[in-house]
Amino acid sequence: MADSPQNVLLGLDRDELTLLVEGLGEPSYRAKQLVEAVYRQRVASIEEISTLSQQLRLNLGEKGISIGLPQIEKRFVSEDGTVRYLVGLGDGQSVETVWMPEGDGGEAGDGSEAGELAERFVEGTISGTSGAKAHTEQSEPIAALKRSATPKPQEDRGKELNKELNEDRGQDTNRHQRYQPDLRSKQGQNQGRSTICISSQVGCAVDCQFCLTALLGMKRNLSAGEIVGQVCAVLKDQKVSPPEDRINLVFMGMGEPFLNYENFVKAARLLVEEVGIAERRMTVSTAGIVPRIHDFGGERIRPKLAISLNASNDELRTRLMPLNKKWNLEMLMAAARAYPLRTREWITFEYVLLGGVNDGPENAKEVAELLRGIRCKVNLIALNPGPGIDFTTPGGEQVAAFQKKLRDAGIPAFVRRPRGRDIYAACGQLKRTVEIAAAPGL
Enzyme catalytic residues: 96, 427
Residue length of the chain: 442
CA distance 94 to 87: 5
Helix (H) or strand (E) holding 286: strand 282-286
Q: Helix 396-408 vs helix 154-177: angle between axes, to the nearest 10 degrees?
A: 130
- Which has the closest alpha carbon to 120: 60, 41, 179, 44? 179
CA distance 82 to 233: 16
Strands 71-77 and 83-88: antiparallel
Q: What is the DSSP letter of 41?
A: I
The answer to whether the CB of 348 falls within 8 A of the CB of 386 is: no
The answer to whether the CB of 370 falls within 8 A of the CB of 332 is: no
H helix count then E strand count, the chain: 13, 14
- Which has the closest alpha carbon to 56: 46, 69, 66? 46
CA distance 13 to 265: 12
For residue 284, the cross-strand partners are 251, 305
The answer to whether the CB of 400 falls within 8 A of the CB of 132 is: yes
The answer to whether the CB of 85 falls within 8 A of the CB of 97 is: yes
The answer to whether the CB of 389 falls within 8 A of the CB of 212 is: yes
